[in-house]
Amino acid sequence: MRKTSLNAIHQELDAQLIEFAGYEMPVKYSSINEEHLTVRESVGMFDLSHMGEFHLAGPGAVTFVDGLVTNDVAALEPGQILYTPMCYPDGGIVDDLLVYRLGDDELMLVVNASNIEKDWAWVEEHLPAEGVTAENRSYQTTLVAVQGPGAEKVLSAVTELDLSGLAFYAWTRGTVAGIDDVLVSRTGYTGEDGFEIYLPDEGGPALWRALWPHNVEAGGRAIGLGARDTLRLEMKYALYGNDIDKTTNPLEAGLKWTVKLDKGDFIGRESLLEVKRNKVSRKLICFEMLDRGIARHGAPCHDDDGAEIGAVTSGTMSPSLGKPIGLAYLKRGHTKSGREFHVEIRGKLRRAVVVKPPFYKEGSRK
């Protein structure tokens, strides 16, 4: 099992460690609920070093990546970041990722930990014979996220970088905690203001230890993958492997805003044009339970006549709302907010209702 550069720190903090995507990762340090609410109310620090980072450079890099993903990479200025799905020719999703434009001819792709090897093979398979070099730095890179309304205060205690001037989905680079050339972006997966900090593994522990006292002083905690999941779910941020995968396309997943069918050719464009012409057959919707019960991944959904109309992809007890929430793909015609349906939980049909995203509306996200 791989360990991140912060593994010893997790042990010191008495984390409950689990295997996730081949890494030993903290699922929680105290309680998922407490960690979740701490990020909503103040601030928390996450080790996300399991995520993958690919660096692409060369005169053909931007054109190459633009042809791999659905969003418009060519329109991205150096200093900016975008979120995008990457599709198969049939429109199914290889992965969802962040693209950082590091320079005119330089990009960084940040991919899901569980997809690093698959994505890397996909990139290599499509890499042109010349004009682009690609490097997989996933296993040498530490990623620390600081998320919550107090994030800027915590991070600004250890860097002179102009954080207040850093826009959402923009990055900057400089000295952080005495370490040179650290990449800092105003991004996250929580719905709160926050930063993601990338640096070589050697500096990981020093960065964490420099941030930690400021995090604690701001009322912060260390946050595990358990709360990361509930935080993202309250925002309807899709999780690869749960809500999106090779059998789902970005249009039905509610990611239409990331699919630029007019930007020029990219892998999956023809299929997605076809999906658009025929309208999607199902949609990923948000729901709340009306009857008691927590609907989990895979739970079948039925209409009033008992016909199966879809299935749950994610579900939990929302720590912020105090009620069970979830995401489900439902057939067209059943997806309007306010519409009721039934979820089968342990053999019993229970009422649920489609609601508008996000579940949590008070986030501090800039």
Which x/- pattern over 202-241 shows residues binding other proteins (rule: CB under 8 A)? ------------------------x--xx-----------
Residues 90-129 that bind other proteins (CB under 8 A): none
Binder of other proteins out of 317, 349, 353, 355 (CB under 8 A):
317
Nearest approach, Cβ of residue 224 and other proteins (Å): 10
Which residues in 74-93 contact other proteins (CB under 8 A)?
Answer: none
What are the strands of the beta sheet with 44-47, ordered from one edge? 171-176, 179-185, 194-200, 141-147, 44-47, 221-222
Residues 267-306: x/- map of binding to other proteins (CB under 8 A)? -------------------------xxx-x----------
149 lines the binding site for other proteins (CB under 8 A): no
**Region from 28-36, 75-83, 260-268, 334-342 binding other proteins, contact rule CB under 8 A:** 28-36
- Count the neighbouring beta carbons within 10 Å of the beta carbon of residue 174: 14
* Binding-site member from 7, 9, 28, 254 for other proteins (CB under 8 A): 28
140 binds other proteins (CB under 8 A): no
Question: Which one, 52 or 293, has the nearer CB to other proteins?
Answer: 293
Restricting to residues 37-76, which ones interact with other proteins according to CB under 8 A? none
Are 301 and 309 in contact, with CB atoms under 8 Å apart?
Answer: yes
Q: Report how far Cα 103 is from the mean position of its chain's Cα atoms.
A: 23
Q: What is the dihedral of CA 212, 213, 214, 218, to 10 degrees?
A: 100
Q: How far is the CB of 28 from other proteins (least distance, A)?
A: 7
* The dihedral sign for the CA sequence 260, 264, 267, 270: positive
Give the containing element (helix H, strand E) for 162: none
Asked if 32 touches other proteins (CB under 8 A), the answer is yes
346 is a site residue for other proteins (CB under 8 A): yes
Nearer to other proteins by Cβ, of 16 and 140: the residue is: 16
Smallest separation (angstroms) from other proteins to the CB of 299: 11
Terminal Cα distance for the chain, rounded: 36
**Number of helical (H) and strand (E) elements in the chain, helices listed first:** 8, 20
Phi, psi (rounded to 5 degrees) for 85: -75, 160
| Minimum distance, C-beta of residue 229 to other proteins, in the bound complex (Å) | 8
Beta bridge partners of 196: 145, 185
Q: Under the criterion CB under 8 A, does residue 19 sit at the interface with other proteins?
A: no
- Total residues in contact with other proteins, by rule CB under 8 A: 20
Element at 271 (helix H, strand E): helix 269-278
Judge contact between 161 and 185, C-beta under 8 A. Answer: no
| The one segment of 79-87, 139-147, 200-208, 314-322 that binds other proteins by CB under 8 A | 314-322
**Three-state DSSP class for residue 280:** coil
Contact predicate 63/74, CB 8 Å: yes
26 contacts other proteins (rule: CB under 8 A)? no
Interface with other proteins (CB under 8 A), residue from 26, 268, 324, 363:
324
| Distance of alpha carbon 158 from alpha carbon 135, whole angstroms | 29
Phi then psi for residue 108, to 5 deg, are -125, 130
Residue choice 319, 327, 329, 364 for contact with other proteins (CB under 8 A): 319
Minimal distance, residue 31 CB to other proteins, in Å: 5
Q: DSSP of 166-228, one letter per residue?
A: PPTTBEEEEEETTEEEEEEES--SSSS-EEEEEEEGGGHHHHHHHHHHHHHHTT-EE--HHHH
- The nearest distance, CB 35 to other proteins, in angstroms, is 10
Residue 33 within binding range of other proteins, rule CB under 8 A: yes
Q: What is the contact surface with other proteins in residues (CB under 8 A)?
A: 16, 27-28, 31-34, 36, 226, 229-230, 292-294, 296, 316-317, 319, 324, 346
